[in-house]
């Protein structure tokens, strides 16, 4: 449970691998939506609360997660509570990982991986529009190039606040992107198709034809089918969104290149495994395939 102490919110946690969470958050120097402060092991991020942009900073001190508000002298209860809810979802803190740990103990692929990074949690993307755009931008290109695309999109069309000489950005709204032309995004190095897909998703969301609450209560297969019906969203993109935005622990981006490279590395093989092999191994991960994927991705940072 989160508790307020002055202008800060605090929560005792005993199963969070903060160092590996920060390592993931800082994995690319073109990341534009948060900033990792290596000097004090914290992360800062701008979020929107009641139409106002608020800067939050999250630290891990003596087994407590601590949320502070660097640019505010006084903080309302609503802001502290909304920020705590955001961080809870961002780091999937409500998830009991013990069943995943137990599963991994008996799995020859996951055993060493999970024991090495125990306490790592899937870092979420709360905003559905951001998650969908990120999944589109990341299709068939390297992670570094995808970050470059996101950086251009956010700094051109997003909102921001400044604090201590640093700019903190919010992902552009679907309303803002829906007003653009394909040529506007082509000028940011988007391909023709990706520009069309991103604007198409923006139009769906700006018109309230697509919104996050539609997915509440749906099964994994139902969520997948609903997302795949969107132009530009295939099975990989759908499962990535379900994993990162809807926090389903069994979402499985089977075709993910990072997953393939991680399995090659963990198994010390000269070639990447086939999809059939991965599907066979993943049968033992059912219920936790998203977490298995996220932990395997972590091995690529070593």
Active site residues: 256
Kindly list the strands in the beta sheet with 8-12, ordered across the sheet, starting from the edge strand earlier in the chain.
3-5, 8-12, 64-68, 52-61, 42-49, 35-37
Other beta carbons within 10 Å of 211: 13
- Burial-class residue 242 by CB neighbours within 10 Å (0-12, 13-18, 19+): buried
């Amino acid at each position: 449970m989160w508790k307020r102490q002055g202008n800060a919110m605090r929560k005792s946690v005993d199963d969070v691998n903060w160092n590996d969470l920060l390592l993931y958050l800082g994995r690319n120097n073109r990341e534009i939506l948060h900033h990792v402060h290596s000097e004090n092991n914290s992360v800062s991020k701008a979020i929107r609360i009641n139409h106002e942009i608020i800067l939050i900073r999250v630290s891990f001190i003596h087994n407590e997660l601590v949320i502070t508000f660097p640019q505010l002298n006084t903080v309302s209860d609503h802001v502290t509570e909304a920020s705590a809810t955001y961080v809870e979802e961002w780091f999937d803190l409500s998830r009991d990982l013990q069943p995943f740990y137990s599963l991994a103990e008996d799995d020859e692929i996951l055993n060493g991986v999970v024991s090495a990074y125990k306490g790592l949690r899937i870092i979420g993307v709360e905003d559905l529009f951001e998650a969908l755009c990120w999944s589109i931008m990341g299709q068939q290109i390297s992670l570094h190039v995808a970050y470059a695309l996101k950086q251009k999109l956010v700094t051109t069309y997003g909102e921001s606040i400044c604090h201590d000489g640093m700019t903190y950005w919010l992902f552009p709204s679907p309303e803002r992107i829906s007003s653009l032309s394909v040529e506007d995004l082509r000028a940011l190095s988007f391909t023709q198709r990706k520009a069309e897909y991103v604007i198409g998703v923006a139009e769906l969301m700006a018109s309230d034809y697509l919104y996050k609450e539609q997915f509440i209560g749906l099964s994994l297969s139902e969520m997948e089918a609903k997302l795949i019906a969107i132009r530009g969203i295939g099975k990989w993109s759908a499962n990535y969104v379900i994993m990162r935005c809807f926090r389903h622990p069994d979402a499985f981006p089977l075709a993910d290149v990072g997953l393939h490279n991680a399995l090659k590395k963990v198994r010390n093989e000269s070639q990447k495994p086939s999809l059939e092999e991965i599907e066979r191994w993943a049968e033992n991960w059912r219920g936790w395939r998203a977490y298995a994927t996220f932990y395997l991705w972590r091995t690529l940072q070593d």
